[in-house]
Structures are given as C-alpha cells and as structure tokens.
Structure 1
Amino acid sequence: MFLCCWLGLVALIPTTLSTNPGVKVRLTEKGIEYGRQLGMAVIQQKLRSIKIPDFSGKEKVSPIGEVQYSLSNMHIVNVGLPKSSVDLVPGTGVTLSIGDAFISLNGNWRVKYLRIIKDSGSFDLDVNGLSIATTISIKSDETGRPAVSSDSCSATVGSAKVKFHGGASWLYNLFTTFIDKALRNALQKQICPLVSDAVSDLNPQLKTLNVLAKVDKYAEIEYSMVSSPTVLKSSIDLSLKGEFYNIGKHQEPPFSPAAFNLPPQNNNMLYIGMSAFTVNSAAFVYNNAGVLSLSITDDMIPKSSPFRLNTKTFGAFIPQIAKQFPGLMMKLLVKTVKIPTLTFEPNNATVQATTTMTAFAIQPNSTLSPLFVLNLEASVSARMFVSEMKLAAAVTLNKMDLTLAKSYVGDFQVGPLENVFKGVLKLVVIPAVNVQLAKGYPLPTIGKMKLMNTQLDVLKDYMLIGTDVQFS
C-alpha cells in the first residue's frame, strides 16, 4: 500500500463547514518515514513491471557500413532505490523524490550487415543515475472518501550502458551508443506512468476508510474532516468531526466541541486527540435511544452478597414495606434523567450521572407495585484504554448522593439505605456498564491497520493516544 497510513489519513474526507473538531490526528516524522518505506517497496515492485517492446533500427557503423539491428525479449532483472525522501511543503502538500536509482535488464539481440551476414546473442543493460520527482494531490471522490493522484512527475535517466554477449559481440559493442539512447528513452517514458499507477493503487485502500463507523445497533461515529489538513514542516494535523449519531438520524447535541491543541510530541508515528465532546456526544445518542436504563432483579446480585432484593431486606430499613408487601421479591429500575457528562482533567476522567432509582414490589401475579423513587447523583472515574482498534473504558464509583423524590409507602429516612444502594451500584450497575464499555468504539482506521506501542494520557479537555502503526 503506497505511502501508508499517513497519506490515507491525510485525506479522510473532503472539507466540510469549519468548526472545532472532536478529534485531532497528528502524523509525525516517524509516521511519514514509515510511509516512505512502504511507498518505496510499492514503487520498486511497479518498476520491476516495466515492459519494453521489441524494437529495431538501422545505424551506419564504420567500417562495417549499415547495420540492421533488433532487440527482443527484454525484461527487468533488478531495481534499486537507494535514496528517497518524502517532504512536506507547509501549507501545500507532499513531494516524493527518488535519487541514484538503478535498473538492470537483459534481452536478446539480432543483427544483419553487409546484406548477408547475420548474427545474434544476448545483452545486458544497466541504467544508473535514475531520478524521479512527483507531487501528490489529494481530492475527494464521489462517495466523500479521498482519492489521490500524481499531480506532476519527472524522471531522468543518468546513463544507460548496454553490453552484448555471443556472436561477434566485440564488434557490435562498437555501436552501443545508438542503442543506449534508444533504450534509455524507452525506459524514461514508462517510469512516470508507473509511479502514477503506484499512487492510484492507494485509492482502493482509501475506500476502506471508516468515515462513518458503526458502533452497535444504536450508534455510529463520524470521522469526516471539518477543515483542510494542516501541513507543517515536520507533521500533518487533521481535524475530524469525531461525533456520535443515532443510526439513520444525525441530530446535533445541545453542546459543541471546545477548541484544544495537541502537544508537541514525536515519539510515536501517530497521535489521536479525543475530546470530551466525542464521548459526551455518545452519551447524548444513547440517551436519545432510551437505552440508558437498567432493570435490576435479585438474580443479578451475587449469591455471596448478604443483601437480597426483597421486601424483607428493605423492611429492615423501611418497616412499612415489610408490613404492606410481606414476603415479596423486588425490582429496581435505574434510569438517567440527564445526559451523563464526562470531563477530562490531567490524569483524571470523571463522569457525572443523574438518575432515578424506582423500587417495585413484585406481586405473585408478576404485576409491579411502586414503593418509592430516589434521586441518585453519582460520580464515577473512567479508565480509558485502547483495545485492538477500539477505544474502550471501565468505570469505578467515586461517590453518590441519594434524596427521596417520591414515596408510595409513607415518609422514611434515605440515609440508612445509602450503603445498600452503593452495593447495588458496585455489584450490579457498574459491572453492567463496564461490560458495554469494554466493547469499545472504533478509532479512525484504514485498511488492515494495526496499532503498536500504544499509550493513552488524559489531559485537560481531551485524551491523547500515541501509537505506532503497522499494515499487513
């Protein structure tokens, strides 16, 4: 794959209305160098496919006179690209330069002179001092994905030397100058088209870009660009939308991303800055989908727990429950009443959630009798981590506050129930949340991309993922 991930990610999608991004991506010198290595392997393979058609000609060679010659069955035996560089032109684009390259090929020769003398044999051609320079443009295709092309290209061949073998080759080496020039021109005409093909061969890979990545049956995340790539002297910065949407319904949340800047780092090939906006847009989407709720029954509580979800247990704290609903199992319904909010501070990610917890007694006929409704304010710490190609998380409870919203069994003090509901959160709610968070959601990727040596740091208003990449 030509020029690797950095070129693919440079052009995630065409420019849309300018706004603050939810996600920023920085491609460093280390990533560009990896792209150069992959690109050279592809170009080298392309140059090995050079096909020089058979050709013939006539030349006057002293003292022989007119010589008719033909060259056939020519094929490449070796290509070397010892020097190459990829340079960023700030504010402009990308240039690729190759120098001191060489190509070796062989083929068959045949000559006729003095009208009756014929001879044949083989020959070797060594092309040295080959240089190639190309500029690469990045545009959008009809699907909104990037398409790349070689905008301009120049190729020059420093020297071409042919050596004949067999027959009276010592004689025919006298007129190699004429054939050198013909072969050099034939090669030179093919080099730029092949380089252009190598660049174009990236386009099928770019079509694998997850511009709109499905998360689950409720949500998808959009990684379209919100502004043009910023080409700097030693890196390329990309601004991506990084916003969750309900599948089939792209509704904007009642908040927008705050501006943030990536710190100057160059230890990894790729840096991804994920703002709090991106995660909070996920909370908005799942809240709209009505899935931020959980029904809790006794079978969800570990058998080792002394606390049971029945009217006997709660009757110890609220006697009227045991009197009015003796010997019944209970059910709790936890439901968000506000969109959970995540904040990033250095080394700390915190989620604030406002929920209601409604308790029911389960009647013998399975009908539910409401007992009380509590307001629950909870704060949890989130540990973010990268799992394969996804960003995942796990939360732990920091603190919670309970207040009585409504009672169907008369007034009672909430305080004695705090430990009970803290246990419910730790034993049931948070493990259920963590199961979902562990599934993760897709990071912006292209093709068969694998993350290596990944690190994640939480900073002010965003988290920073530093990673190397590898393509198979």
Structure 2
Amino acid sequence: MSALITALIFAISEQTVNNLLDDIVISLETNTQNYQIPDQSFELDLAAIVNFDFTEIYLEKLKITGYQATMISPDSIDLDIESLNLKVSFQYKYELNGLIDKGTGLLEIINTTISTTALSSSQKTVKFSPLNTKVKVHDILIEVNKPDSKNQNWVFAFLKPELKDLISDQVKSIINSGIEAIDLGDMYTSFNNSDLAFNYSLSHPLTITDQMLKGESLGIFIQESNPNYNPPIPKPVDAVITEIEGIQFVASDYVLNSLSYAAFISGLLNFTITNSNLPQDLPFGLTTTTVGLIIPELIVEYGLGKPVNFSCNFVEPPFMNFVDNNEWSAQIKALGYMECEIFVDNEVALKLGVSVIGDARLYLEEWKIKGTINELKVDKVEVISATIDVNTDDVKDFINSSLETYIKTINDNALKNGIEIPDFGKFDLKDSKVKTGTGFLYLLINPSLSFTLEDLINFLG
C-alpha cells in the first residue's frame, strides 16, 4: 500500500486494566489452594555440598494486596504490588556427607513487594517489554518436621538467604515473562482455503495517556497473493474515541468494503449453480422443464428436459456502509450489481444484469449477534443479451420470493436466537453493546476475567 490508512481504532481504559487485575487476583486467591508446584532441587555450599530435593510441593494460601496499574504517557504502564504473601507445604530430602535426612515442612513468604514497568516496544504491533522489575522478599519462615526424630529447623535456617534470592529471581522471571507474553505478533491473519487475509497491524505507534491505551490499526482485508494495493473504495471516516471506559473499538465501513473488494478480485463472489452441486435431497433438477415454469420461453426455444446451468459474477464489489443510529444497534446497508447467465446445452440463452440491495439491524446480547435482516432483494433486472424473449418482472418476482423465504429462515433460525461469537480465552465479554454512526461502527465491551494459576502458567508458556 502506498499510504497507511487507519480503519480500526481500539482503546482500553486504565480503570478497565485495574478491574481485570482485580479479577485475576481474586481468581488466583480463590483457585490456587492445593495447587501442586513442580519438584525443585538445588545445592548449597556449607563447607561441604548439600543437595536439597523438594517434592509434593503444594500452594496452600496466596494473598495479594495493594496492587495498582498506572498508565504513564507516552508509552508505558506501571504495576505495583505492596504485599504478596503465600504459604506452601512440601516434602524434603537432603544429603550431607553421605547422610540422608527427610521429612515435611511449611514455607511462608511474607510481605513481598513488586514493581515493574511494561514498556510499549514496537511501532507496528501491540508488544510490551519489562523495565526495572524489582522483587523484594522481606521475610520467609520455614518450619520442618521429621516424624521419627527431632526438628531440623537449624539446618533450614541456613537456607533463608538462598531461598530469598531463589524466590525473588523466580517471581521476577514470571513477571517479565508475563509482560513479554503481551505480543500480538505481526497482527495479520490469513483465512484457510481462500486468498484473503486481514491486516490489522498498527498504522501508528500505541499511545498511552494517564487514562487509556489507544491503538490505530490498518484494519484492511487484502488479497494475500497481491497485498500491496490501495483498494478503490472510499477512505475511512475520521473517527475518535472520547469515552474513558471499558474496551472500545471503532471500525470504519472501510473494513467491510475492503473485504468486499478483496473477495471480488479473488473471485470469491462469483458462483455457478449446476445439477451437480444441488442438494441431493432436492426433488427436482435444473432443466428447461423446471426453469421453464418461470421462463416459459426456454421450453419454446430449447424443448423439455434440457440441462440448465446458472453463473453469476459481480461486475463490481458490493458496497456496504454503516448508517447513523441513535439506538444501541448496528444499521448496515448494502448494494451490488452482478451479471447472471443462464446456459442451456452450454449455450448462453440469457444474460441478465441484476441490482441487489440489502438492509439489516444487528445488536449484541450475551456475546451473540442478534437482529433482523430487514431487506435483501433484487431491485432491478435488465436483459443484456438473449436468444429468447423474457419478462424480467417475472424473473425479479421469482428471485425476491425465494429471497424472502431465505431471509425469514435466517431471521427466525439464526438471528432471533443469536449467532455465537467465538470466545477469547478466559475473558467474559457478555457485557457488550454496539451502535453505528455515519460510516463507522462503535463497540463497547466491559470485560471480566476468570483465571487460575494453571491458566497463568500455560499463558506464560
């Protein structure tokens, strides 16, 4: 593309980040009891080398207080945790000069403080890098027991400095890995079995204020085999995000029309209907006899029972636009023009120009798309060439009666009950709504998050 455009804008408020942080902490504190931690082993030099093995490690308690995420202009987010406390139980075994001792124990980590900065570190994607991560373990308590002998706590007292460093390093590594995992990569998605892709890489670097993080994205569908073009469609409207709440998206109808254009030049909008691709349970085929009920001139010209094929190609990409709507719903209008040919015995019997218009109102409920297709109909039919005379009004009425049945089926069976939108991991996006203005769609999401320690570990890879 010769010039960068912005067709998609997204933003997340500082308050929403902290709300999600609340969800994470509550989920972790609630769901981590009896979580098993992998076995640990290390050596300690106490004049002689002591080998320690810790097994059956279980997290019994986790408490996090005084946490806060703060957005810092122009490119970073600070995270501070005043106090992290946890308690784990374990089995231990250590070996010193050939002598082996083993038993059970409890480890309590007290008043660990954490601070770090997530720095936006890419011009083209959403990616963060950790900066100045600090972890301080103020104190740890270790109490061990041996069922068959005296306590060996004096041995483990030597471990406190070593364990403080080990715990600090591991917590720091977890935090840094978590920040580095915030990486959307090339922000480019290919679609299987098509020549289409969606490029939503940043058109400008992320901007961060004291209230929100905002990103401006290309938001363009492209033909993957020929991606470097400017589609001949209207440029995106100038749209801004002014509200400071939730997660917000503003999408220009440029996004829709870039999809329409990419599908058009890829040939995905063209279709052919023959007897071979009709449903097997259809009680009739495409012949001059059946199609002749609508166009009787086919029977006169070609006789009964001759095979008939249909082929339709859009002459130009269909155009779609978002319409101004004061309600929390999306109003979308569309129009297109295609040429359709009717073949009999591989001869073009009729070539028609068909104008199509559509109108729909959609809304979100419980993260489902609901609404109504108000109109999808053929507006005009014209004869381009023909070997027969034909009444275009009859053709138009037949197509529209078929479309009415099709629309009613979609409205009653799909849009009335709602079309499920794919989930995004552990995020609950049911508190969401959408509306349209002239040339753009606005989506507001107030997300919640349910997270476990195992989810966190899987996320960190």
TM-score (norm 2): 0.67
Q: For residues 220-267 of structure 1, give each alpha carbon's deviation from its aligned partner in whole angstroms, at most 9, with x where no partner exists.
A: 21221212222233332222222212233314312333322246263x
Look up the SS of the partner of 2:429 in the other structure.
Answer: strand
| Corresponding residue number in structure 1 for 2:238 | 259
Relative to structure 1, the CA distance from residue 281 to residue 163 in structure 2 (aligned partners, 3 Å threshold; closer, same or farther) is closer
Contact 1:148–1:199, Cα closer than 8 Å, also in 2: no
| Corresponding residue number in structure 2 for 1:92 | 75
Relative to structure 1, the CA distance from residue 191 to residue 424 in structure 2 (aligned partners, 3 Å threshold; closer, same or farther) is same
- Counterparts of 1:307-386 in structure 2 under 5 Å? 309-315=290-296, 321-327=298-304, 328=306, 330-345=308-323, 346=325, 347-360=330-343, 362=344, 367-382=345-360
1:30 corresponds, among 4, 12, 16, to 16
Relative to structure 1, the CA distance from residue 94 to residue 243 in structure 2 (aligned partners, 3 Å threshold; closer, same or farther) is same
Q: For residues 159-193 of structure 1, give each alpha carbon's deviation from its aligned partner in whole angstroms, at most 9, with x where no partner exists.
A: 66789999999xx9xxxxxx79x946962675256
Partner Cα distance (1:71, 1:325) in 2: 94
Partner Cα distance (1:430, 1:79) in 2: 54
CA shift, 1:419, in A, is: 1.0
2:434 corresponds, among 452, 457, 460, to 457
Partner Cα distance (2:176, 2:184) in 1: 14
AA paired with 2:208?
A: V
AA paired with 2:19?
A: E
- State the identity as a percent: 11
Does residue 136 in structure 1 map to residue 109 in structure 2? no
AA paired with 1:423?
A: S
Partner Cα distance (1:338, 1:217) in 2: 19
CA shift, 1:84, in A, is: 1.2
AA paired with 1:91?
A: P
Contact 2:188–2:200, Cα closer than 8 Å, also in 1: yes
Does residue 421 in structure 1 map to residue 399 in structure 2? yes
Partner Cα distance (1:188, 1:410) in 2: 90
Relative to structure 1, the CA distance from residue 297 to residue 386 in structure 2 (aligned partners, 3 Å threshold; closer, same or farther) is farther
CA shift, 1:459, in A, is: 0.6
Partner Cα distance (2:3, 2:69) in 1: 29
CA shift, 1:280, in A, is: 1.1
Relative to structure 1, the CA distance from residue 154 to residue 408 in structure 2 (aligned partners, 3 Å threshold; closer, same or farther) is closer
Contact 2:369–2:421, Cα closer than 8 Å, also in 1: yes
Contact 1:102–1:128, Cα closer than 8 Å, also in 2: yes
| Corresponding residue number in structure 2 for 1:154 | 134
| Corresponding residue number in structure 1 for 2:98 | none
CA shift, 1:464, in A, is: 3.2
- Counterparts of 1:405-444 in structure 2 under 5 Å? 405-409=383-387, 414-426=392-404
2:199 corresponds, among 214, 222, 244, to 222
Look up the SS of the partner of 2:267 in the other structure.
Answer: coil
Structure 1: unaligned runs, 5 residues or longer:
1-15, 58-69, 109-120, 173-178
Relative to structure 1, the CA distance from residue 285 to residue 231 in structure 2 (aligned partners, 3 Å threshold; closer, same or farther) is same
Partner Cα distance (1:418, 1:122) in 2: 83
Partner Cα distance (1:231, 1:47) in 2: 37
Contact 2:322–2:331, Cα closer than 8 Å, also in 1: yes
AA paired with 1:313?
A: I
Relative to structure 1, the CA distance from residue 125 to residue 278 in structure 2 (aligned partners, 3 Å threshold; closer, same or farther) is closer
Does residue 239 in structure 1 map to residue 220 in structure 2? no
Relative to structure 1, the CA distance from residue 386 to residue 242 in structure 2 (aligned partners, 3 Å threshold; closer, same or farther) is farther
TM-score (norm 1): 0.66
Q: Root-mean-square deviation (CA), in Å?
A: 5.3
Q: For residues 184-233 of structure 1, give each alpha carbon's deviation from its aligned partner in whole angstroms, at most 9, with x where no partner exists.
A: 69626752563243331564674788632425423121221212222233
Look up the SS of the partner of 1:313 in the other structure.
Answer: coil
CA shift, 1:401, in A, is: 2.6
AA paired with 2:130?
A: S
CA shift, 1:287, in A, is: 0.7
Contact 2:136–2:168, Cα closer than 8 Å, also in 1: no
Contact 1:154–1:192, Cα closer than 8 Å, also in 2: no
